[in-house]
Amino acid sequence: MRIAVAISGGVDSAVTAQLLSKDGHEVVLCHFLMSDAGEKSALDAKRVAEHLKLPFFLLDLRSEFESCVVQPFIKEYLLAHTPNPCVHCNPNFKFKNLIAFADREHCEKVATGHYAVVKDGRLFQAKNQKKDQSYFLSRLSVEQLKRIVFPLGEYTKEEVRKLAAEWSIPVAAKHDSQEICFIPNDDYEAFLRARAPESFIPGEILDTEGNKCGTHVGLPSYTIGQRKKIGAHCVRKYVVRIDKENNRVIIGGNEDLEQKTVMLTDTRWLIKPASETFEAEAKIRSVSAPKKCLVKVLPDGRTELEFALPERAAAAGQAGVIYLSGEVLGAGIITI
């Protein structure tokens, strides 16, 4: 089978390409140049391709990435939301362009170094729960998933590193990126100040009873659950609400961050619900484990998640992903 592999310049995609090649598939590599900061990764991707002796294509998609991913990210922050750009990038940019590339190169399937499992167009969590990336892939369409293979879904990170070393892959020891690819040094505030300085208007910091506690430096500098950079208080305080209309940051205790009900909008279903109310599991942030909840599909198109135990720091703009027995059923965007 001829397979197009998106090669990032990291160890996971490099091992993905070699696994498929060793399984007898005809592998074609492509790297998407998405920002000026990505030139080092492009060089690493080319080194990997040369080492594996596989055909390599470099696609300059900086302009499309800017309009499709970066600008919506900035817009969401200016609405006082906390977006997750990877959740939107995967269906709308990365896999859209990877499948288009595959079609041009007459490839039947596409692959990446994500840790997840796809079976017959259905998406499941990876064997390695700590590295599972099904959350970020949850808004892919069934049509996209039918074209995708994730060879690392059954591997642990340690096993991948070991294979990379055995095969002398040039990036075998390269550190995993923990940052959003287009934000230098993971400094959101500096990035947003450079791109939208007019949005940083100082305003009041209030407690949950309406008492003024200080002055904030601009709403894009804050997100739900944040504890740092909100001033010193006698007890530990967190950002519990962002009042965009009045340019205010509301702070409170840990108990003010807890809620049992989370509302989703724009839910995309991979498995259509058989009933309007059903039991499942859901996660409202990428780093948490799915928690038991009652899912309610509302007449107005929204989806309500009623958790068995309170969840902490639900943030508008993040994804809420619904699971059943390790399978992704659907995903919506949290609205407060």
Q: Are residues 120 and 77 in the same domain?
A: yes
pLDDT band with cut points at 50, 70 and 90 for residue 178: low
The two beta strands, 203-207 and 248-252, are: parallel
Domain contains 194: no
Task: For residue range 27-53, list pLDDT tens digits in order.
Answer: 999 999 998 877 889 999 999 999 999
Give the model's pLDDT for residue 61.
97
Q: Are residues 160 and 213 in the same domain?
A: no
Q: Are residues 35 and 121 in the same domain?
A: yes
Active-site residue (options: 89, 107, 213, 293): 89
Q: Are residues 130 and 278 in the same domain?
A: no
Domain contains 195: no
Q: Are residues 21 and 170 in the same domain?
A: yes
Residue ending a domain, among 155, 184, 213, is: 184
pLDDT band with cut points at 50, 70 and 90 for residue 218: very high
Quick check: 105 and 28 in contact, CB under 8 A? yes
- Is pLDDT at 144 greater than 70 in this prediction? yes
Tokens linked to 47: 């080194």
Q: What is the mean pLDDT of residues 184-212?
A: 93
Distance, in Å, from the CA atom of 292 to the CA atom of 280, rounded to the nearest integer, reads 6
Residue ending a domain, among 212, 231, 252, is: 252
- Predicted TM-score (pTM) of this structure: 0.95
Angle (CA) 262-263-269 rounded to 5° is 115
Domain contains 193: no
Q: Are residues 292 and 209 in the same domain?
A: no
Tracing tokens 């995903």 back to the chain, one arrives at 331
Q: Are residues 160 and 243 in the same domain?
A: no
Q: Are residues 112 and 11 in the same domain?
A: yes
Q: Based on the structure, what is the number of domains in the chain?
A: 3
State the residue range of the domain holding 311: 258-335
For residue 46, give every residue at least 6 positions away whose Cβ sits within 8 Å of its Cβ, in sequence order, or none: 31, 56, 58
Domain contains 190: no
Q: Are residues 21 and 91 in the same domain?
A: yes
Q: Are residues 149 and 21 in the same domain?
A: yes
Tracing tokens 């508008």 back to the chain, one arrives at 316
Determine how many CB atoms are found less than 10 A away from the CB of residue 235.
6
pLDDT band with cut points at 50, 70 and 90 for residue 324: very high
Tokens linked to 49: 């391709």
Q: Is 89 a catalytic residue?
A: yes
Residue ending a domain, among 130, 150, 184, is: 184
Q: Are residues 171 and 272 in the same domain?
A: no
Domain contains 189: no
Residue 315: name the closest of 274, 259, 234 by CA.
259
Which CATH number belongs to the domain containing residue 224 in this structure?
2.30.30
Most confident of 156-170, 176-190, 222-236: 156-170
Would you say the C-alpha torsion 59, 60, 62, 63 has a positive or negative sign? negative
Percent of the chain with pLDDT over 70: 99
Which CATH number belongs to the domain containing residue 289 in this structure?
2.40.30.10
Domain contains 191: no
Longest dimension (CA), the chain: 67
Distance, in Å, from the CA atom of 93 to the CA atom of 122, rounded to the nearest integer, reads 20
Which CATH number belongs to the domain containing residue 44 in this structure?
3.40.50.620
Active-site residue (options: 181, 213, 234, 293): 181
3-state secondary structure of 276: coil
Task: For residue range 65-96, list pLDDT tens digits in order.
Answer: 999 999 999 999 999 999 999 999 999 999 99
Q: Are residues 166 and 301 in the same domain?
A: no
